[in-house]
Amino acid sequence: SVGMSQEVKEIEALAIRLAKQAGAIIREKSGRATEVDRKSSRTDLVTEVDKACENLIFSEVQAVFPHHRWLGEETFTVDQLEHLRNSSDSDWTWLVDPIDGTLNFVGGLPFASVSIAVARGHDVQVGVVYNPFVDELFHAQQGQGAYLNGRAISALPHETELEDAIVTLGFSTNPETRKLMLEAISKVGPHCRTVRALGSAALHISYVAAGRIGVFFEHGLKPWDIAAARLILEEAGGSVTQINGEPLPVTGGSILATNGGIVHNRMVELLS
Ligand code: 2AM
Ligand code: CA
Ligand code: CA
Ligand code: CA
């Protein structure tokens, strides 16, 4: 309906404004966080800037859309995750990663993003990924295509073979999944153009959408890591599944994100 599409437009405009606001803080504070704390382990960190950015986005969303639900990396509860799993079409949920690439941010490596997705039930309607270091904003609205700084993007060429593709991956903070990734890349590495691991899942997936790279894969991702960039990639004509080729639920898991076509199937074959 007209009312619904107007609402989605307002949601998208707010998501873009907040991604840029949080991004400005991330750019300013990169390499200069003062409170760097361990979460689950020595490799799993959070800073006062992750928390401040999530708070900023949360409070603005609450002010404008008080009935919308919230799922953010630094504040999530088991109940909120369970609610997303069981959510119905009348629920709107914001899925937010305030800094995707915290370890880069802590080290002052200028490669990180803000990821904001807004879902109706399990259906992601709006996705925004912003890299403040180069002022690149990727966004998509379901059914409306994908855009980088306002220009339409495409994950083409679909005819690319794995041999011509740059393959990227994420190295988890979890020792078990990191081992899985090392095993996986030893199978794929010999067959692709080259291998990169830059440290932000949301940016890698958005780069596949823009045709900059052919493949991204990682084990153990959460809803806020992938929801926004996944919509951007699907709207750009790419493919997203689990690593074994099965459908990827909104609740997350392993992800295989490619420019589509034969590269996707080849990756599934090599990794099975
Ligand atoms: P973060 O920076 O928001 O924590 C790095 O390879 C990517 O993996 C980042 O997107 C990072 O998100 C994410 N990541 C962090 N911890 C992870 C984990 N335990 N398993 C999988 N991915 C993780
Ligand atoms: Ca993340
Ligand atoms: Ca994060
Ligand atoms: Ca984290």
Compute the distance from residue 182 Cα to the ligand 2 centre, in Å. 19
Residue-level pLDDT at 90: 87
Indicate which atom in ligand 1 lies nearest the CA of residue 105: 2
Compute the distance from residue 44 Cα to the ligand 4 centre, in Å. 6
Compute the distance from residue 97 Cα to the ligand 3 centre, in Å. 5
Indicate which atom in ligand 1 lies nearest the CA of residue 174: 19
Q: Give yes or no for residue 113 CB within 6 A of ligand 1.
A: no
- 10 Å Cβ neighbour count for 42? 8
Calpha distance 122→150 (Å, rounded): 26
Say which CATH class 162-271 falls into.
alpha beta
Q: Give yes or no for residue 43 CB within 6 A of ligand 1.
A: no
Residue-level pLDDT at 3: 78
Indicate which atom in ligand 1 lies nearest the CA of residue 50: 3
Q: Whose CA is nearest to atom 14 of ligand 1?
A: 172
Residue-level pLDDT at 102: 98
Residue-level pLDDT at 78: 96
Q: Give yes or no for residue 46 CB within 6 A of ligand 1.
A: no
Calpha distance 239→236 (Å, rounded): 9
Q: Whose CA is nearest to atom 5 of ligand 1?
A: 199
Query: What are the extents of the domains in the chain?
Result: 2-152, 162-271
Q: Is 100 annotated for ligand binding?
A: yes
pTM to 2 decimals?
A: 0.97
253-258/113-120 β-pairing:
unpaired
Compute the distance from residue 2 Cα to the ligand 2 centre, in Å. 34
Ligand 1 probe mutation, 73, 74, 218, 251, most atoms within 8 A of CB: 218
Q: Give yes or no for residue 54 CB within 6 A of ligand 1.
A: no
Q: Give yes or no for residue 102 CB within 6 A of ligand 1.
A: yes
* Greatest Cα-to-Cα distance within the chain, rounded to the nearest angstrom: 52
Calpha distance 163→238 (Å, rounded): 18
Residue 27 near residue 135 (C-beta atoms within 8 A)? no
Q: Tokens at residue 259, please?
A: 């420019």
Residue-level pLDDT at 1: 65
Residue 167 near residue 184 (C-beta atoms within 8 A)? no
Query: What does the pLDDT profile of the chain (272 residues) look like in tens digits?
Result: 677 899 999 999 999 999 999 999 999 999 999 999 999 999 999 999 999 999 999 999 999 999 999 999 999 999 999 999 999 888 999 999 999 999 999 999 999 999 999 999 999 999 999 999 999 999 999 999 999 999 999 998 767 899 999 999 999 889 999 999 999 999 999 999 999 999 999 999 999 999 999 999 999 999 999 999 999 999 999 999 999 999 999 999 999 999 998 999 999 999 99
Compute the distance from residue 45 Cα to the ligand 4 centre, in Å. 6
CATH superfamily of 2-152: Fructose-1,6-Bisphosphatase, subunit A, domain 1 (3.30.540.10)
